[in-house]
């Protein structure tokens, strides 16, 4: 096989975009570039108190151009001339209002500072009311349109966000021709398409976030959406019922973008996909082995042969979709809405006095960079028992099992002897218990989990968190050796789109980095953690009961 075959993977995360050029034959990483979104970094257009998180499309466009051009410069023109394909993953559901040409409204002068004209980030929770209405109407309709979405539609997803924006902003409503996912817009942009009705939608976002299901003939009918609110009438008619897997091409790089990036119009552009799904590919997911992307939140992916899922609908997860993650298999997604975000919150809490006192920026930066590591070391040394401090991890609501964004976190068992490492230990334990609840739900539904693959920032940074997770799950965990599995997974998809490999499985086998860290559960802690998991569940029930009594909502 000719070794002069290269591909580009572009990974849009929450805070930045990362671009990677890989030799698609040898697997060598030739160049990498990262671009932090400047407007997002300044927290423009966001309001955390209102759970409103919006991102400007210029952050995406500027990041795309800068990182690809920088990678091409690093790699050299010899490599650039042999780049065959680009594939892109993004966060999701992260949709946006566009005009008839597929241009996000925030790119128009009259909307450039309007948050409702921007991409509504995955963790935006402003559409809780709208999600409740979608769930209620699905129950009334006689057709379980939410059945393949775990039975509960989330405010983090496509249709709830659309309805919320339409209700909130008349100006946007009048100019919005269609509602599109970030993962669909990027390939549309690069191929130079100008008719939003021709946009190719990816099965990952459509199935897990957009209520698409082959069993229902595609998306729910227009009258279903209109029955929720007449404002939704007509939007589904602008979406092709056909969806595409990420091993297919959306088209070729258009002339304008080829010139901007210094590439050829022969470069194929892959269908987009959700970042966590692509990260699972980069992390070499296996059937029945859960791939956990562990960062600010978690996304837990499974792939299962179609025959094994016949007649099964898993309650309370984030969807099961034919062709998502690995084309040809059923992809299942679950996850936690806050994991590392909880640790970051605790760190900021502890740093508050220093940030508001006469501490030099240099000292503050040094303390901040080492604080969680030190807390982990101290927490690991704590002697604990079944009555030690315990916490519930719903600081950003509950994603799965059984989505409920209004639930809150909690502590119990605090005394005057409780210190910062003990609280940190309780928080880490709570996130691991939350992960265990997802495993337990799958087992209750007849799906056995044979192993755990860990990906993302935390598995490479915190031995304490990962050992706690292995102990509580009572399962060994292996950590993929790549520090950028999403971008790497995108290159695997690009190599498949380019025809260098026959399928995604072959690309994973050839380009994967293997595993370099392993965590074995401590059998001596098994009984203790089972007792504490029961206490965690008891506290969860109490918190949820109080929530529905409107005490803490």
Domain ranges of the chain: 6-283+482-515, 340-480+522-548
- pLDDT for 464: 97
Same fold, 6-283+482-515 and 340-480+522-548: yes
- pLDDT for 142: 85
What is the pTM assigned to this prediction?
0.92
What is the three-class DSSP state of 44? Answer: coil
Residue 508 CA, chain-centre distance (Å), reads: 20
Q: What angle do CA 204, 336, 465 make, to 5 degrees?
A: 125
Consecutive H or E run containing 59: helix 57-75
Residue listed under structure tokens 């506290």: 539
Architecture of domain 340-480+522-548: 2-Layer Sandwich (3.30)
Q: Which residues of the chain have pLDDT under 70?
A: 1-2, 548-553
Other beta carbons within 10 Å of 83: 28
- pLDDT for 1: 54
Going along 487-530, which residue ranges are E strands? Answer: 515-519
- pLDDT for 549: 66
- pLDDT for 120: 98
Between the alpha carbon of residue 187 and those of residues 83, 96, 323, 325, the distances in Å are 16, 15, 19, 18
Q: What is the 3-state secondary structure (H, E, C) of 426-478?
A: HHHHHHHHHHHHHHHHHHHCCCCCCEEEEECHHHHHCHHHHHHHHHHHCCCEE
**What distance in Å separates the CA atoms of residue 347 and residue 376, rounded to the nearest whole number?**
12
**Close Cβ partners of 377 (under 8 Å, ≥ 6 residues apart):** 464
Query: Which is the CATH superfamily of the domain at 6-283+482-515?
Result: ATPase, nucleotide binding domain (3.30.420.40)
**What distance in Å separates the CA atoms of residue 398 and residue 407, rounded to the nearest whole number?**
6
Instruction: Decide if 187 contacts 250 (C-beta within 8 A).
Output: yes
| R_g (Cα) of the chain, nearest Å | 23
Instruction: Decide if 65 contacts 260 (C-beta within 8 A).
Output: yes
Consecutive H or E run containing 23: strand 16-23
Instruction: Decide if 161 contacts 93 (C-beta within 8 A).
Output: yes
């Amino acid at each position: 096989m000719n070794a002069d075959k290269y591909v580009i993977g572009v990974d849009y995360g929450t805070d930045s975009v990362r671009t990677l050029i890989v030799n698609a034959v040898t697997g060598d990483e030739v160049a990498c570039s990262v671009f932090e979104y400047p407007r997002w970094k300044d927290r423009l257009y966001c309001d955390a108190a209102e759970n409103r998180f919006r991102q400007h499309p210029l952050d995406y466009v500027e990041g795309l151009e800068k990182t690809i051009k920088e990678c091409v410069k690093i790699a050299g023109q010899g490599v650039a001339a042999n780049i065959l394909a680009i594939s892109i993953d993004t966060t999701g559901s992260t949709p946006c209002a566009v005009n008839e040409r597929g241009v996000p409204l925030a790119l128009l002068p009259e909307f450039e500072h309007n948050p409702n004209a921007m991409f509504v980030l995955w963790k935006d929770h402003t559409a809780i009311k709208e999600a409740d209405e979608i769930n209620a109407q699905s129950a009334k309709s006689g057709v379980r349109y939410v059945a393949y979405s775990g039975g509960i539609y989330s405010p983090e997803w496509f249709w709830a966000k659309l309805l919320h924006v339409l209700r909130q902003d008349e100006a946007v409503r009048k100019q919005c021709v269609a509602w599109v996912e970030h993962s669909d817009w990027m390939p549309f942009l690069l191929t130079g398409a100008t008719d939003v009705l021709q946009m190719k939608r990816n099965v990952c976002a459509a199935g897990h976030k957009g209520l698409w299901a082959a069993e229902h003939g595609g998306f729910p009918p227009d009258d279903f959406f209109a029955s929720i609110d007449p404002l939704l009438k007509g939007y589904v008619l602008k979406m092709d019922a056909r969806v595409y897997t990420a091993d297919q091409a959306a088209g070729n790089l258009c002339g304008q973008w080829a010139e901007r990036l210094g590439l050829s119009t022969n470069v194929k552009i892959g269908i987009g996909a959700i970042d966590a799904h692509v990260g699972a590919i980069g992390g070499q997911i296996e059937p029945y082995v859960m791939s956990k992307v562990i960062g600010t939140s978690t996304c837990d992916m499974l792939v299962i042969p179609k025959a094994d899922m016949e007649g099964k609908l898993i309650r309370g997860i984030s969807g099961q979709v034919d062709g998502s993650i690995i084309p040809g298999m059923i992809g299942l997604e679950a996850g936690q809405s806050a994991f590392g975000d909880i640790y970051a919150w605790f760190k900021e809490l502890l740093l508050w006095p220093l940030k508001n006192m006469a501490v030099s920026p240099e000292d503050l930066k040094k303390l901040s960079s080492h604080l969680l590591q030190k807390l982990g070391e101290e927490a690991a040394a704590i002697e604990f028992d079944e009555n030690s401090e315990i916490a519930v991890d719903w600081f950003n609501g509950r994603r799965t099992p059984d989505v409920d964004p209004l639930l809150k976190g909690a502590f119990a068992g605090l005394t005057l002897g409780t210190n910062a490492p003990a609280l940190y230990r309780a928080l880490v334990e709570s996130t691991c218990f939350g992960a265990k609840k997802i495993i337990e739900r799958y087992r209750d539904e007849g799906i056995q989990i044979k192993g755990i693959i860990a990906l993302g920032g935390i598995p490479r940074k915190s031995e304490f968190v990962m050992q706690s997770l292995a102990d509580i799950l009572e399962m060994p965990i292996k950590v993929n050796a790549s520090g950028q599995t999403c971008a790497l997974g995108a290159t695997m998809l690009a190599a498949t789109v380019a025809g260098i490999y026959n399928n995604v499985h072959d690309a994973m086998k050839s380009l994967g980095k293997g595993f370099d860290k392993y965590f074995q559960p401590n059998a001596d802690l098994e009984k203790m953690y089972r007792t504490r998991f029961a206490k965690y569940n008891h506290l969860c029930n109490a918190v949820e009961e109080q929530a529905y009594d409107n005490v803490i909502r």
